[in-house]
Chains A and B, each alone.
Chain A
């Protein structure tokens, strides 16, 4: 149980375009989902916390207008990288916990490898 699906797994886009990444909890509901990015050989960096039905909470230094997060339902959160540039190329990973199980380990999606040319 507690499967998180992330799509697409890999995307290549041109500079200036926008890319949407979906994160779905397949067999549980999640009021909160987390978006991370990871550069090569670096650890996970929390970008933002996605809250169902309300605004996302962004970490310091993360531009909310560039990384748009929508959490419209208890099973879906989306991250849109707007006007992508080569420096946005990274590995983006979402994670979630079932509602009421804050003590549980995070369940991760398989990640999205974004390459901006």
Chain B
């Protein structure tokens, strides 16, 4: 079967750095996505990795290792507004998106 694993919940301090990990086992691979979802709202796109390595976009970076089936989302200089759920999703060989259950990130002052 296909599955994506990410921690259920993480807590971090305002101004700090946090890394959210995602491991996956899917039928083929056509890219990995990270989305942010605030409570009661739809997901918004954060990043996309299809090749190994680090993609940096402002305070957010995403890393991919296809051989390890592993990705992480790195959030720097945390702000209170970063409190949200972070969803990892992988596009498989049929271009279907497989979603992780999401990681709820709690930012404390």
CB atoms of B33 and A105 under 8 A apart: yes
Q: Which residues A97-115 have CB closer than 8 A to chain B?
A: 102-103, 105-111, 113
Partner of B42 from the list A42, A43, A45, A93 (CB cut-off 8 Å) is A93
Which residues between 20 and 37 of chain B lie within 8 Å of chain A, taking CB atoms?
Answer: 30-31, 33, 35
Does A44 reach chain B (CB closer than 8 Å)? yes
* A43-B87, A103-B30 known; A110-B41 Cβ under 8 A: yes
**Per-position contact with A for B93-109: 1 when CB-CB < 8 Å, else 0?**
00111011110100000
What count of chain A residues pass the 8 Å CB interface test?
20
Q: Looking across the interface, which residue of chain B has its beta carbon closest to that of A44?
A: B99
Rounded to whole angstroms, the CA-CA distance of A79 and B9 in the bound complex is: 32
Is B44 a contact of A103 with CB atoms below 8 Å? no
- The reply to whether B45 and A105 form a contact with Cβ atoms under 8 Å apart is yes
Minimum Cβ distance to chain A for residue B5 (Å): 12
Q: Most B CB atoms within 10 A — which of A34, A46, A108?
A: A108
| A109 in contact with B33 given A43-B87, A44-B99, A102-B95 (CB within 8 Å) | no
B10 CB → nearest A CB, Å: 15
Residue interface mask A17-47, B partner, CB < 8 A = 1: 0000000000000000010000001111110
Whether the Cβ atoms of B42 and A111 lie closer than 8 Å is yes
Across-interface contacts of A93 in B (CB, < 8 A): 42-43
Q: Which residue of B lies closest to A4 (CB)?
A: B42
B60 CB within 8 Å of chain A = no
Q: Which residues of B contact A105 (CB under 8 A)?
A: 33, 35, 45, 48
A107: nearest residue on chain B (CB-CB)? B45
Cα–Cα distance between A41 and B87 once the two chains are bound (Å):
12
* CB contact under 8 A between A42 and B44, given known A102-B95, A103-B30, A105-B33: no
**Which 4 pairs, one residue from A and one from B, show the smallest C-beta to C-beta distance?**
A108-B42, A43-B101, A105-B45, A111-B42
Pick 15 A–B contacts, CB within 8 A, sort by A: A34-B97, A41-B104, A44-B43, A44-B99, A46-B96, A93-B43, A103-B31, A103-B91, A105-B45, A106-B33, A107-B45, A108-B42, A108-B44, A109-B42, A113-B40
